[in-house]
Amino acid sequence: MQSVHSICLMCSVRCPIQVMVDNDNVKLIEGNPHDPGIKGSICPKGAAGVCLLNDQERLKKPLIRTGPRGSGQWREATWDEALDYVATKLKEIKEKYGAHSIAYTERSQLNSHISKTFMRALGSPNYFSHDSCCKGSLNTAFRSLTGYTDSSVSVDLAKAKHIILFGRNYFESIELKMVKQLTSALENGTKLTYIDPRVTVTATKADKFLMIRPGTDLALSYALMHVIINEELYDKDYVKRWVLGFEELKQFVGKYTPQWAEEQTGIPAKEIISLARQASAAKPAVIFHYGYRSAHYTNEVYVRRALIMLNALMGSIEAPGGIFFKKNAKDFGKKPLNKLTDQQLPDIKVPRCDGAGTAKLPTPDPAHGVVQMLPQVILSEDPYPVKGLIVWRHDPMLSIPDYENNKRAFEKLDLLVTIDIQFSETAWYSDVVLPESIYLERGDSIQENSGLKPSLYIRKPAVTPRYDTKPGWEIIKKLADRLDIGHYFPYQTLEDLWNYQLQGTGLTLDDFAGKGFVTLADEPLYWNREDGIQFKTPSGKIEFVSSLLEENGYPSFPEYETVQPPAEGHFRLLIGRSIAHTHVSTQNNPLLNELMPENLLWINTKKAEKLGIKNGQTVQISSSRGRDTIKAHVTDLIHPEAVFMVHGFGRRVKALTRCYNKGASDTLLQENISDMIGGSPALQHVHVKVQAI
Amino acid sequence: MSAYAIFQDESRCISCRSCQVQCKINKGLSVGPKPNQIIEVGPVDRNGRPKANFVFLSCFHCADPWCVPACPNKAIQKRDIDGVIFINQNRCAGCKSCIMACPWSAPQWDGQKGKAVKCDLCLERIDAGLKPACVTACPTNALTFGPADNVPETKRIRFAREVVSGQDMH
C-alpha cells in the first residue's frame, strides 16, 4: 500500500488528504495526518470519494450531441474530434458576433487563472464564476466596508469567547478544520448563540437558540446595534481609530429599538438586549459571523454589512478570537506563486454582458460577474448576443434560479460545451461534453492557502484515469492551441505547470515531498490593532458610510422594510445544505445517496395540520415558476411562515439513475430576482404553495 | 468484552456519519450493510434549548457472545489475545445465523458478497498500531479508541466543570 498526499475535491473546501493506493486502486482516503488541523480525519463526502472513482455512471468519453437538446442522444467521439468541433464552432461565433459573444462559467477553483487567461486571450470580458449565486452580496458588503473581498477574511473560532451565528450552519455544511476548532472551543467554554428559522444540528449544540422569523435578520442586527450604541457597549478606542461614519449610524439606529425588532423578528426584546450585553462582555474575542452562502433576500448586501459592522463595534476585526484578514506570501516577504494571468494579456474594451462594473451593476464584483443575469442576457440579446457558453465544473442550470427559464435560454445558444466529471443538468443540455478526470486521477495548479499562517498545498494524481478523460487544464490548453492562443499556456505536462508556478519562489517540487504541503510562516500574523490594520478603502478605515455605495447612488443605511407574511396556505421557501451532499454534485454517489437519497419538505406541525398534511406524505409544492412533488417532514422545529428543503434534488437527468427524479428541485421553484447592489440572487424570495395530494 | 473499546463522546458528535461511510469503504462494502451507525434521537426541547442525541452503535464485542456459537461453520470467532470478535470471511457460508442471534444487529448482511460482515475493530489496522478507520475519520474526535480499562476522562472532567461553574453562579 502506497500513500499519496493530495487535496480533496468532494466539495470546494479543499481539505488535505492522504490517499491509500494499492495496485492503482484507491482503498481508503483519510485526512492528511501531517496537517495539525486535520490529523487523519475526514468528512463523509471525502471518504466517499472512493465510490466516485469507480462509478460506472461517470462521463467516460467525449460526447457530441446527435438528437435534440436534452434528449440524451449522443455519439462518442475522440478527443481530437470533439475539440476540433468545439474550436470550429467557437471560431464561427467569434467571426459572426465577436469574441465577446462567448461566455464562460465555472466554480472558482485551483485552475481559475487558466480559465481567466483563456477568456482574456480569446478577447471576451465574459468570464463568470458561480460566486454571485453563493456569496456575491457578501463580497460586495466586505468591499464596501473594508476594501477586501470576503475571500480575504476568516474567523478565529479557536480563540473566540462568544460566537453568534445567523444561520451559519457550521456542523452540517462541514469544513473539517473549522468544525474541529469550533468543537474544541465549545469544550473549552466558548458560548454559542445560533439564530435560524429552523433547528439544525448546529442549533442543538448552541447555548442559546433563537428562532427568527424568516427574512428579518436585518431588523435583529439594527436592534443589536441600537442596544450596543445606546448602552455604550462598543469598543470606543477601536471605533474612534478605525470606523468612518459611527455618528451617522448612531443617528440611524436610534429608532430601531429591541421592542420594535421583537415585532419584526419574533425574538423577545429581552433576548436581544441580553445578546448585545453578552457579546460585548466577550469583546474583542467575539464573532458575529457574517455568513457564508449569502444569496437569500433582495436586501442581502445590507444584512451582511450590518453583521460586519457589529464586529467593528466589538473591535473584533483583526483581533484574536475575532475576524481576521488572511495573510499571504507577500506579507511574509515571500514571492507568491506565478499565475498565467500575470502575463501580458490583450486589453478588452467591450463591457461585460451582465453589466457588472458598468452603470447597470456598478457595485457587484466584475472579477466574478453576476452569473444569474446570463439567461436574461441570452434571451434578450441585450446588450449584445451571447451565442457560445463554456462551462467547467459548474451547473448553471441548477445553480441559477428558475430552471425552465434557464432551459429556454440555453436552448438559444449556438454552442454549449460542458467540462465535467458526470452528467450535470447543463451537460445534459450541451452540444459537446468533455469528460474530466476526477481529482484522484489528476493533478491541478498548486494551491496558495492564505491565512494567519499561509501555506501551499498540492493535488497530485493518486491513480491513473479510469476512463478516456483528461484534466481540465489540459483540455483548455488543447482548445487554446486550436484557437491560436496556445502560446499563453506555456506548459505541456503537470510538472511544467507546477514549475511555472514555483519559478522564482525559491521552492521546488521536492519541498512538497513527505507531507504534501509547505508552510510559509512559523507564527500567525495579526496586524497591529492600534496602527497597523491595512484597510483598502479610500479612507483607510471601516466605512460604515461607504464611498463605494454612496458614489454609486446607494444609501449606506437603508430604512428597514417590514417583511409581509405569506398568504394562507403559502410559505417562504428556505433552502440549505445537508452534511451528506455538496450542492448539486454528490446526489448520485452511491454511499452519499444512501445517507440521504432524497430531500424532504420541512413544514411546521400546526400549519401541516391545517392543510391536512401528515408526516411522510407526498405533497405538491408550487410557485410562480413551476411545481414539483416532495415528501413532507412535519416538525415543530421550523418557523410556521417557512418551509425548508435541501438544495440539489429533483434531478431530471436519467443517466444519473440513483438520484433521478428523487425529491424536489428548489431551482424549479425559485424566481430569478437579485439583490442588485450586492449581486446575489434572492434564492429565498419566492413564496410557495403547499397542498396535500 | 474485548480488551478494547470505542468510546463515543456524544456532546462532540455532530452526526456527520463519517464513521459509517469510512467503515464501509474500509471493508469494501456498498449500499446496505452498516457495521456501525449513528442513530439520531430528537431534537427535543430541554430547558428551552433544542437538544438531540446522536448514538454511535456498533458491535459490543460481548464477553459471552451469542453470534459465535450460532455460527455453524466457526466463521465468527473470538480472538484469544484480546477478545475481538471477527468474521473469517473465507469460512462464512452466508447462513445469517449470526444476524439472527445478535440482539443488537451488529452482524450485517453484505448482499454483494453473500456473506455476513461486522465490526472487528479493524483488526489489521489495530495490529499495525493504527486506530479503527471510524475513529481516525471522526472529524470532531467524538470517537476514541483504546484499552477498555482506560476510559477517557472527558465526560468526568466536563461534569466536574459544570458542577463548579454551577456553584459560581449561586
Domains and CATH numbers, chain B: 4-163 (3.30.70.20)
Q: Which residues fall within 8 angstroms of residue A398, CB to CB, at 6 or more apart?
A: A424, A425, A426, A584, A648, A665, A667
- pLDDT value, residue A369: 98
Q: How far apart are CA A368 and CA A346, in angstroms?
A: 19
B21 in A contact zone (CB under 8 Å): yes
Q: Residue A383, preceding bond cis, omega within 30 degrees?
A: yes
Count how many residues are written for chain B.
Answer: 170
Q: How far apart are CA A692 and CA A683, in angstroms?
A: 24
- Residue among A172, A199, A591 whose CB faces B21 most closely: A591
Q: Which residues fall within 8 angstroms of residue A48, CB to CB, at 6 or more apart?
A: A10, A586, A589, A590, A591, A592, B21, B25
CATH 2.20.25.90 residue ranges for chain A:
2-53
Interface test with A, best of B10, B18, B130 (most A CBs within 10 A): B18
- How many CB pairs (< 8 A) connect A and B? 101
Q: Which residues of B touch A41 (CB under 8 A)?
A: 18, 136-139, 141
Residue of A436, A331, A428, A460 whose CA lies nearest to A32: A460
Q: How far apart are the first and last CA of chain B?
A: 43
Q: Which CATH class is domain A2-53?
A: mainly beta
| Contact check, Cβ <8 Å, A41/B26 | no
| Contact check, Cβ <8 Å, B25/A50 | yes
In this structure, what C-alpha cell is assigned to residue A613? 398534511
| Contact check, Cβ <8 Å, A205/B31 | no
**From the CA of A34, how many Å to the nearest CA of chain B?**
13
pLDDT tens figures, A245-258: 999 999 999 999 99
Q: How far apart are CA B36 and CA B61, in angstroms?
A: 13
Q: Chain A residue with minimal CA distance to B46? A: A204
Q: How far apart are CA A301 and CA A289, in angstroms?
A: 14
Average pLDDT over residues A486-515: 97
| Contact check, Cβ <8 Å, B16/A44 | yes
CATH architecture of A157-321: 3-Layer(aba) Sandwich (3.40)
- Whether the CA torsion A457, A463, A465, A466 is positive or negative: it is negative
SS3 annotation, A79-124: HHHHHHHHHHHHHHHHHHHCHHHEEEEECCCCCHHHHHHHHHHHCC
pLDDT tens figures, A372-406: 999 999 999 999 999 999 999 999 999 999 999 99
Question: Any idea what DSSP says for residue A211?
Answer: E
pLDDT tens figures, B85-141: 999 999 999 999 999 999 999 999 999 999 999 999 999 999 999 999 999 999 999
Q: Which of A592-596, A670-674, B71-75, B147-151 has the lowest mean pLDDT?
A: B147-151
pLDDT tens figures, A13-27: 999 999 999 999 999
pLDDT tens figures, A257-305: 999 999 999 999 999 999 999 999 999 999 999 999 999 999 999 999 9
Average pLDDT over residues A642-648: 98
Query: How crowded is residue A139: how many other Cβ atoms within 10 Å of its Cβ?
Result: 28
Q: Dihedral angle at the C-alpha atoms of A227, A233, A236, A237, nearest 10 degrees? A: -140
CATH 3.40.50.740 residue ranges for chain A:
63-133+334-452+469-495
- pLDDT value, residue B23: 98
- pLDDT value, residue B168: 47
Q: Which residues fall within 8 angstroms of residue A659, CB to CB, at 6 or more apart?
A: A587, A588, A593, A597, A649, A651
B137 in A contact zone (CB under 8 Å): yes
Q: Chain A residue with minimal CA distance to B29? A: A591
Q: Which residues of A touch B26 (CB under 8 A)?
A: 27-28
CATH 2.40.40.20 residue ranges for chain A:
570-692
Query: How crowded is residue B54: how many other Cβ atoms within 10 Å of its Cβ?
Result: 21
B26 in A contact zone (CB under 8 Å): yes
Question: Any idea what DSSP says for residue A623?
Answer: -
- Quick one: which H or E segment has residue A601? strand A600-604
Of the pLDDT bands very low, low, confident and very high (cuts 50, 70, 90), residue B162 is: confident
- Write down the CATH number for the domain with range A570-692: 2.40.40.20
**From the CA of B64, how many Å to the nearest CA of chain A?**
33
In this structure, what C-alpha cell is assigned to residue A227? 442596544
- pLDDT value, residue B169: 44
Q: Chain A residue with minimal CA distance to B134? A: A41
Above 90 in pLDDT, residue B37?
A: yes
**Residue A166 — φ and ψ, nearest 5°?**
-90, 80
Entry pTM: 0.97
DSSP strands (E only) in A125-270: 127-129, 153-155, 162-166, 191-196, 208-211, 243-244
- Residues from A contacting B (CB-CB < 8 Å) are 27-31, 40-44, 46-48, 50-51, 171-172, 174, 176, 179-180, 183, 187, 189, 199, 201, 203-209, 579-580, 590-595, 637
| Contact check, Cβ <8 Å, A593/B31 | yes
Above 70 in pLDDT, residue B170?
A: no
**Residue A357 — φ and ψ, nearest 5°?**
85, 0
| Contact check, Cβ <8 Å, B18/A41 | yes
pLDDT tens figures, A208-232: 999 999 999 999 999 999 999 999 9
Q: Which residues of B touch A51 (CB under 8 A)?
A: 25
In this structure, what C-alpha cell is assigned to residue B147? 484499552
- Write down the CATH number for the domain with range A63-133+334-452+469-495: 3.40.50.740
B136 in A contact zone (CB under 8 Å): yes
Q: How far apart are CA A164 and CA A145, in angstroms?
A: 20
Residue % of chain A over a pLDDT of 70: 100
Query: How crowded is residue A359: how many other Cβ atoms within 10 Å of its Cβ?
Result: 9
Q: How far apart are CA A241 and CA A243, in angstroms?
A: 6
Which residue in this structure is represented by grid cell 464513521? B19
Q: Chain A residue with minimal CA distance to B52? A: A204
